[in-house]
Structure 1
Amino acid sequence: MKRYFVRTLFLGWLFLLLASAAHAQADNMGAVRSALRNGSSRELSQYFAPTIEIGFDGEKNIYNSTQAEIVMKDFFSKNAPSTFELIHQGQSGEGIQYAVGRYTGRSGTYRVYVKLKPTRGAPLIDTLDFTKE
């Protein structure tokens, strides 16, 4: 009887752990979407990996998280968002999340590609790519 109780308790704990991990991953993509919609480099930078690749119309550079926040702040100041919508999102078998969206700002519309890699348990932005449509 005691063995059955311990096993049930362990399985319940494991289920809650997996459910909370899946919820946290979904929350990160939602927070990234919200930060892009609001044009907030500060909100967005909370989800940057230690190094991040940012591209604008094919010109890509790798930045540390502090530099990336400054680059995004500059982009948002020149291209304040009017809308941001996700077109597609998914996840690879290795746990890499990705999303494609449409960002409409002051200077036009951009197709945005976002890739989040699991880093120490939490998915963080590894790649941000803006291509003008």
Structure 2
Amino acid sequence: MKKLLIVLVVLLGGIISAFALSANSHEDNSVAGPFEDVVGAIKQGDVSGLSRYLDNNVEINIGGKANSYSKAQAEIILKDFFSKNQVKSFELVHQGGETSRFGIGNLATSGGNYRLSFFLQKKGGSMVLNELRFESK
């Protein structure tokens, strides 16, 4: 009887531990979202990562030249920018919002330093990137 009780306690402890580990790993996976994905894509100069979130129309301002572009045009503009300006680092210095999110950071590239602002807006059931501003420092 004593052996059976010990076996049950060990099995129950193992099940509880496995459940706790599973719950913790699930929480870690749910931390990343569109905002974090966009920050990661900026840090890598990854236009494909950014394009996943581009709205159908995106306002892009590079060095004071602003225009509204279709998603396809925005991808071309961003590919051109990041091909001429390889990312060295991106430091997010300010962020905010809940249903709409924004981030402001310092982008260091091979072609110069920029203050980068981006805006994500809830549209339907997802977040879309609808504005990017690259201001020369």
Aligned pair count reads 109
Question: Equivalences for 1:31-50 in 2 at 5 Å?
Answer: 31-50=37-56
**Contact residue 79 and residue 106 of structure 1 kept, 8 A:** yes
> 1:84, 1:54 → 2: CA distance?
18
Question: Equivalences for 1:24-35 in 2 at 5 Å?
Answer: 27-35=33-41
Deviation, 1:123, is: 1.2
Partner of 1:109: 113
Deviation, 1:98, is: 0.6
Kindly name which structure, 1 or 2, has the bigger radius of gyration based on alpha carbons: 2
Q: Which amino acid aligns with 1:41?
A: V
Deviation string, structure 1 residues 58-80 (Cα, Å, up to 9, x no partner): 21011111110111000000000
Which fold has the larger relative contact order, with Cα–Cα distance below 8 Å and residues 6 or more apart in sequence? 1
Instruction: Please give the root-mean-square deviation of Cα atoms over the aligned residues, in Å.
Output: 1.6
- Asked if 1:79 is matched to 2:85, the reply is yes
Unaligned 5+ segments in structure 2 are 1-26
- % identical equivalent positions: 34
Deviation, 1:125, is: 0.5
